[in-house]
Structure 1
C-alpha cells in the first residue's frame, strides 16, 4: 500500500513512517522544506507550501491512504502572530489537500488526521468519550474544532474519514516527557498548580500503532489516541521521579508563576481532560504500554 504522510519528519510522523516501512508499505511524504526531500525505493518526499497553495501532485500517485499530521507545534510561546500560525498551519494544509483531491484523478479511499484531546472542556470530574460534543472555550479548543471541521470536508469526496484525538505523547527523543523529566533529573521537579488536573497520555509506540490500526481496519470517525489509564499531573510527576530515582521535595508550582513564564501557553499544563480509550479497546486494539510505569521504564531507562 502507498501511504501519503504530512508532518512525516515530526515526532509522531517519524515513528509512524518507521512502522509503515517495517510492514512493507511505501511512504510518500509532503514537506515544506526542499532540503528534506529524499528519494528511496519505498520512501519519497514531495514539496508543498500550504501558504502559497503549492503542491506537487505526483505525491498522490498510487496513494490509497493519507495520514495528515502537519501542524505548527503548540509548545511555543503563543504570541498573537504565532497563534495565527498554529491555526493556519492546520487549516490551510487541510484545505490544500482537499482542493487537490477534488481536482485530480486519484485512488485515495481514506484520510486519517491528527487531532487533539484539547477539544474537550477543562474538567476535574468528567470522563470524555468520542461522543461528547461540548468543546472547550479555550484557544486550543477553538483550534481543534476548526481543524476537525476542515477534515470533515473530505466526507464530500466519499472518503473514509478518521480523526485521532491525541493526548500527551510520551517519547524518548523529544516531546513533553523529556521536558518534564529535565527539572526532575536535577532535583527541581514539582507538580503544577493543585496537581489534580488529569493528563491523558500515550506512549509514542502505541500512538503510531493506533494510526496503523485504523488504516488497516478502515475505521471511520473519531478515536481518542490515549492510554486506558490517564493520571493526574501530580501522579505523573511522581511516577517520572520514581523511574528516575530522584526525590521530589519542592512545593507545587503556582499557576500564576507559569503564566508569567509561558504566557497564555501555560493553559496546556493546567487544563484537565480525563479521556477514555474505550472505543479503541472495543475494536480490539491492544496497547503495548497501557500502564504509565511500563511506559516510563521504556522511555527513561
Structure 2
C-alpha cells in the first residue's frame, strides 16, 4: 500500500482515480483550496501555502491540477491561469519536498496531447518528437519542465501526455452530446482520445510498477473529427448531420481557443504498449457504449 498525494483530486480524472486507488487499498490524500473531507488538505499556490501534513511520509505525488483548457476564451488573464495552475502548483510542491527532504518514490504528472502543437498532418507523433511552438505546446513544455525538476532530487518522474478523456459524467463527452451531432470545420482533424478507466489504470501502473519517462496516453485507434462524430451519433442514438459546423463560426464564438477544435494530430501509443500496458478500450465504439 502506498501513500499518494493527488493534486486536482476533485476534478474529472482525480475523482475516478481516487476511487480506483482506494479500491486497491492505497492511502489517498487530496490537495484542495476548500478541504471538506478528512483526506483533503488545504493549499493555495497563489499564496505559496501547502499544509505540511499533506506530504508527511508521502510515497508518490500525482499532479493533475490545471485549469480547464476549453472552459473559457483565451484572454491574456485566462492564459496566465492555464499556465500557473499547472506550473506554479508543481513549483510549490517541489519547494516543499526539497525543503523537507522527503524521499519521494515518484512524481507523476499529467501533460497534454497538444504538446506537439495544434496541427493536422499525416505524421503520427512519438514522444521523441519536437514540442509545438503554439500556446498549448509551450504550456506543455513548461508543465513538463516543472515536473522534471524533481529529477534534481533523484526522484523518478513519469509524464503522461493525455488526449481527450471520455467519461460518463462531465468532460468533453458531455459537451459533445448535442441533439444533432455534426463534425467541426474540415472534419479531417484527428481527435486523440482515451477512456477514463484506461487513463486511471495508467496512473496506477506508474505507482505500482515504478516506470518513469514520457508517454503518450491515447487509445491506439485513431479517429478524425468526422469519424468520431459518426461513431458518437450511433452510440447515443442521435441524428448525424454530415454538414460541418464552419470553422469561421467556431473562431467567432471561441476565439483563439477554436484551434483545439479545428486542428489535431495522431499520437502513437506504441511506447506505453511496449511497457506491457493493455488497453481495455481500444475501439471508440466500445468505449462510448460503456459510457
**TM-score, length-normalised on structure 1?**
0.93
Where do 1:194-209 residues align within 5 Å? Answer: 194-209=186-201
Aligned equivalents of 1:53, 1:224: Cα separation in 2: 31
Structure 1 position 233, deviation (Å): 0.4
- Corresponding position: 1:138 with 2:126: no
Aligned residues: 288
Structure 2 segments unaligned to the other structure (5+ residues): none
Deviation at 1:257, TM superposition (A): 0.5
Which secondary structure does the structure 2 equivalent of 1:215 belong to?
Answer: helix
Q: Is the 8 A contact 1:124 1:196 kept in 2?
A: no
How far has the Cα of 1:247 moved from its partner?
2.2
Cα-to-partner distance string for 1:22-71 (whole Å, 9 max, x where unaligned) = 000101111112xx3311xxxx1111111110011111112111000001
**1:72 correspondence with 2:64:** no
1:285 to 260, 264, 277: 277
SS at match of 1:231: coil
Q: Is the 8 A contact 2:31 2:40 kept in 1?
A: yes
Relative to the length of structure 2, the TM-score reads 0.96
Runs of 4+ in 1 over 4 A off after TM superposition: none
Distance 2:153 2:162 in 1: 25
The 3-state SS of whatever aligns with 1:246 is: coil
Moved more, 121-130 or 149-158: 121-130
Name the structure 2 match of 1:26: 27
Structure 1 unaligned regions, length at least 5: none
Residue 193 of structure 1 and its aligned partner are, at CA, apart by: 1.1
Q: Is the 8 A contact 2:32 2:41 kept in 1?
A: yes
Which residue of the partner structure matches residue 113 of structure 1? 109
CA positional deviation for 1:21? 0.1
Q: Which residue of 2 aligns with 1:2?
A: 3
Q: Matched residue of 2:6: which SS?
A: strand
Say yes or no: does 1:273 pair with 2:270: no
Aligned to 1:83: 79
**8 Å contact from structure 1 (residues 226, 275) kept in 2:** yes
The whole-number CA distance in structure 2 between the counterparts of 1:12 and 1:218 is 20
Cα distance in 2 for partners of 1:123, 1:251 equals: 20
Check conservation: 1:6, 1:68, Cα contact below 8 A: yes
State the Cα deviation string for residues 228-278 of structure 1 (Å, max 9, x = none). 112100000000001122222351111110000111111111121200111
